Structure 1
Amino acid sequence: MPTKHLFYPQPRLPIWSQYLIWACLLMVSFTIDSQLNSKVAGLFFLTCLSIGLAIKHYVYGQKLGFTLTETHFQQHLYKGGWVLRWHNIKRVDALNYSIQGWTTSIPWVGVEIKDYQAFISTISPKVITQILLHQRSLLFLGLKQYSRQHELEDHIINDKPFIYSDGSNVKGLKAMLANRMMIQRQLWGYDLFIAESDIITSKEEFVGLARRYLAASHSGANI
């Protein structure tokens, strides 16, 4: 199947406007330096620089997108991303929340993974931290489905060494992610989750697309 990119459009300032902003910032800093002193000018410059970097991080770093190819499925994040090969994915589906006999759709997509080790070994610590924080609400919601909210503190930071299927073990952040995936599997039936707000299409369209790539990879089709 052809490679598919699903990215949020990233705003871009024209290069001339970037130079203009820097020029104005330097001019104001020099003016402050001449009127007051260099310490105040330096503080002003560093403050503006910090604010600018924070705005850049907020605007550019929140939502990037996904790439689907005939071999793998990848989410691109500001701090890196994760990659799953299709042969390591068992299923992809929209998430439903059930409590007291009442079921409703929630804005998440679940991914069931076959081999944790192949997935976790490729992720950076920054991305693991982002996943753990971003999917924390799902942990609470999943426990609530089974009236197990009292277990939240036991699972929110569970860094006990995790043993892979081949007998090797992992510690630290990678163990935390593996343990979190295990409990999420018990609660939801999936290991990794994608928020609908991270997807430029509806979650139904996204799930349908992912399933077509998954089916094609398993059948060897080249559509």
Structure 2
Amino acid sequence: MAIYLNASLVCCGISFFSFGAIALILGLAKVYEPETTLALDDKGLTYFHRRGKVSIGWDNIQRVDIPRVTNGLDTIELSYLGIKLKHLNPILDNISLRLATGLLTEQRPLLVTAASQDADLATLETYLGAEFGPLVIEGDRYRGVLAMFGHRCVMLDTRLGYHLYIPQDSLDREPKDFITLLRQRIAQYHRLAD
């Protein structure tokens, strides 16, 4: 009886320790989240992430919207803000390796969603094999993590229509309101540039 009781206490202690460790990790992750996730200025949009930041010039944004996929006859909105770029090079030239790696990891659900839109699994296998190879865009050659991130951006653009994806929980307002704001800023930039 005493041995059974001690094993039960040990199991309970391990459970409490595990829950405490998980709570600590989640708490630290929340502390290290940036206070501002998106900043708009005259030059463009800057996305702040706990792993770094990336800036996108207004002149490089082709369109912004909420990505959608089809599931049978239904259209489903994804919980991201999609940004289609005119040129991918400025992003690959300025994104940190740490941020590119983090976005590759965080965007796995998007990869699965994109793959599910194409029933041919051989296409996904071909893509995954090519993701590890070098990438040449507009004469610039990228290798390693930047090439992987670039391949992912190109594949997501081909399948879902956008190069970059910002989670909607990063926005300070409703996604449709934020998209309206971005469209106004893009139009304002182009009016001033002309």
Q: Please report the TM-score for the alignment, with normalisation by the length of structure 2.
A: 0.79
Give the corresponding residue for 1:181: 153
Measure, in 2, the Cα distance between the counterparts of 1:134 and 1:213.
28
Encode CA deviations 1:124-167: one digit per residue, 9 max, x unaligned: 111001111111101111111221455445445712111121x2
Measure, in 2, the Cα distance between the counterparts of 1:160 and 1:154.
11
**Number of aligned pairs?**
171
Whether the 8 Å contact between 1:136 and 1:156 is mirrored in structure 2 is no
Which segments of 5 or more consecutive residues in structure 1 lack a partner in the other structure? 1-49
Measure, in 2, the Cα distance between the counterparts of 1:174 and 1:138.
18
Whether the 8 Å contact between 2:92 and 2:150 is mirrored in structure 1 is yes
Measure, in 2, the Cα distance between the counterparts of 1:131 and 1:155.
18
Q: Percent identity?
A: 23
- Larger Rg, first or second structure (1 or 2): 1
Q: Give the alignment of 1:66-215 within 5 angstroms.
A: 66-149=38-121, 151-156=123-128, 158-165=131-138, 167-215=139-187
Q: Give the counterpart of 1:61 among 9, 24, 32.
A: 32
CA spacing shift, 1:199–1:156, aligned 2, 3 Å = farther
CA spacing shift, 1:153–1:198, aligned 2, 3 Å = farther
Q: Which amino acid aligns with 1:59?
A: K
CA spacing shift, 1:102–1:121, aligned 2, 3 Å = same
Q: Which amino acid aligns with 2:64?
A: V
C-alpha deviation, 1:53, in angstroms = 8.4
Matched, 1:216 2:192: no
Whether the 8 Å contact between 1:63 and 1:198 is mirrored in structure 2 is no
Encode CA deviations 1:44-92: one digit per residue, 9 max, x unaligned: xxxxxx9998566312234541001121101111121111011011011
Whether the 8 Å contact between 1:160 and 1:171 is mirrored in structure 2 is yes
Point out 4+ residue stretches in structure 1 off by more than 6 angstroms. Answer: 50-53
Whether the 8 Å contact between 2:67 and 2:162 is mirrored in structure 1 is no
Q: Please report the TM-score for the alignment, with normalisation by the length of structure 1.
A: 0.69
C-alpha deviation, 1:107, in angstroms = 1.1
CA spacing shift, 1:111–1:51, aligned 2, 3 Å = closer
